[in-house]
Amino acid sequence: MKKLNMDSWREMFYEKIEEVKPQDNWDLKVQQNLDYNDLGPGWKKSLQERAFASFQCSWCQHFWASVQVVILFHMYRDLHRRKGCVKMRVFRQECYECSKGKLEEPDFKEESVQRVLENLVISIREKCYGEYVDHTQLSEVTVIGQHYGPHQSDHCEACRLGIHQRPKRSMYYGRPKDTVYHGTSKDTMPPVQLPSHNLPQDTICCVFCTICILIFIYMSSWIPQLVK
């Protein structure tokens, strides 16, 4: 699998930002020591917690994938010079199969990068240009047909720093439009079997018998009085 380098990220970012803000020049930089809470004057931040990427341990070669890769962006727009700058930090994950693993960099497919950058441009429009943004258009990862297991918080750099809090809802997400399904096509996806709310037949019989017994006991207490 060809690993996307930073030049590829920049090229895709330039294309997307130019579509909506051709009058300004924006740049995208990587800064791995970017602090979540340290914002300079005029800077805005955006955190994406639902990116999809894969990892491989450099020690034991264990491979894993995650739908909760966290990416932090700091954004600044210079209104007078008509320039903008984005600093990006991608948080790493640690191998959970061996005790000698180090924090590994994620490997993104082009599709995942496209979605991350779509969300970034939306954040720029909202936070740097003051535009109203429909948040239902935010792209989120959908993974169907493959199970990646629970998020390993103890081995996640963002979790250790207290930046990423694992949600209580399902780990599978999808945006309302143009959803892409990993692992199976939308047309061939099997129907979801919802849990039935019908009571088992044995339970119904037990309930019915209990009601009959209670009625019999109640009627038995009144029969002697009626005879008198």
On whether residue 37 sits in a domain, the answer given is yes
Quick one: 106 and 16 in the same domain? yes
What pLDDT does 196 receive? 44
207 and 152 part of one domain: no
Query: Does residue 29 lie within any of the structural domains?
Result: yes
- The answer as to whether 97 is a domain residue is yes
Please check whether residue 177 lies inside any domain of the structure: no
Tokens 């990862």 map to which residue? Answer: 141
Q: Are residues 73 and 144 in the same domain?
A: yes
* Secondary structure letter of residue 50 according to DSSP: E
Residue 167 domain-assigned? no
49 and 136 fall within a common domain: yes
* pLDDT band at 154; cut points 50, 70, 90: confident
44, 67 contact by CB (below 8 A) = no
pLDDT at 172: 33
Q: Do 54 and 95 form a contact (C-beta atoms < 8 A)?
A: no
63-78: strand order across its sheet? 25-30, 83-90, 63-78, 44-56
Pairwise pLDDT comparison (152 vs 42), residue with the higher score: 42
Query: Which of these ranges, 9-13, 110-114, 160-164, has the smallest mean pLDDT?
Result: 160-164
219 and 133 within one domain? no
If asked whether residues 219 and 119 sit together in one domain, one would say: no
**Same domain? 94 vs 154:** yes
- Please tell me whether residues 56 and 156 are part of one structural domain: yes
pLDDT tens digits, 117-142: 999 999 999 999 999 887 776 656 54
User: Using 50, 70 and 90 to split pLDDT, how confident is the model at 148?
Assistant: low
Residue range 39-94, pLDDT digits in tens: 999 999 999 998 999 999 999 999 999 999 999 999 999 999 999 999 999 999 99
Instruction: Kindly state whether residues 122 and 77 are assigned to the same domain.
Output: yes
pTM (two decimals): 0.68
Query: What confidence score (pLDDT) does residue 140 get?
Result: 60
pLDDT at res. 205:
66
Considering the domain architecture, whether residues 15 and 125 belong to the same structural domain is answered as: yes
**Residue 81 resides in a domain:** yes
Indicate if 130 and 221 belong to the same structural domain. no
Please count the structural domains in the chain.
2
Residue 130's pLDDT is 94
Q: Are residues 41 and 114 in the same domain?
A: yes
Whether 165 is in a domain gets the answer no
Quote the domain boundaries for residue 200.
Answer: 196-228
The verdict on residue 181 lying in a domain is no
In 3D, which of 111, 27, 10 has the Cα closest to residue 76? Answer: 27
From 140, 160, 180, the end of a domain falls on: 160
Residues 184-222 pLDDT 10s: 333 333 343 334 445 555 666 666 777 777 777 766 665
Buried/exposed code over 138-173 (b: 16+ C-beta within 10 A; e: otherwise): bbbbbbbeeeeeebbeebbbbbeeebbeeeeeebeb
Residue 102 predicted with pLDDT over 70 = yes
**Listed ranges 103-112, 150-159, 187-196, 218-227; the one with the highest mean pLDDT:** 103-112
